[in-house]
Amino acid sequence: MLPRIVSVQPLDGYRLDVAFDDGTTGVIALSDRLFGTVFEPLRDEKFFRQACVDEFGAIAWPNGADLAPDALHEKLRSADRSPLTAAIGG
C-alpha cells in the first residue's frame, strides 16, 4: 500500500510541512517549482496557503493543482534529514 499524506501545513516561503501515515514527516520547498499553468496561481501566497489533503491522500489546491504523495514520500525518505528540507524534483 502506498503511503498517504495525513496532514499538510503551509509555511512561509512556499514550503509545506507534510506528515504521512507511516510516520514520515518533513518540509517540502516549492518556491522554485511553481511554474506552468496549474502551479503558477500558487505563487499567490494566500492561494498557496489553501493547500489541503484530498480524498486520495495527495496535497491539493482548489484550482486542481496537486502533488503526488509517492514522489513526496520518496524525496523525504531519501533527503538528508539534517535540515528536514527537500526540494521536489531536485
Name the strands in the sheet holding 5-11, side by side, starting at the edge strand that comes first in the sequence: 5-11, 15-20, 25-29, 85-87
What does the pLDDT look like over 7-17, one tens digit per residue?
A: 999 999 999 99
Can you give the CATH number for the domain in which 48 is found? Answer: 3.30.2020.10
**Residue 23 sits in which domain range?**
5-87
DSSP annotation of 39: T
**H or E element in which residue 45 lies:** helix 45-48
Helices then strands, counting H and E runs in the chain, come out as 2, 7
How many separate domains does the chain show?
1
- Specify the pLDDT at position 87: 44
Contact 59, 4 (CB under 8 A): no
Q: Per residue in 23-74, pLDDT tens?
A: 999 999 999 999 999 999 999 999 999 999 999 899 999 999 999 999 999 9
- Model confidence at 80: pLDDT above 70: no
Q: Do residues 30 and 11 lie in contact, with contact meaning Cβ atoms separated by under 8 Å?
A: no
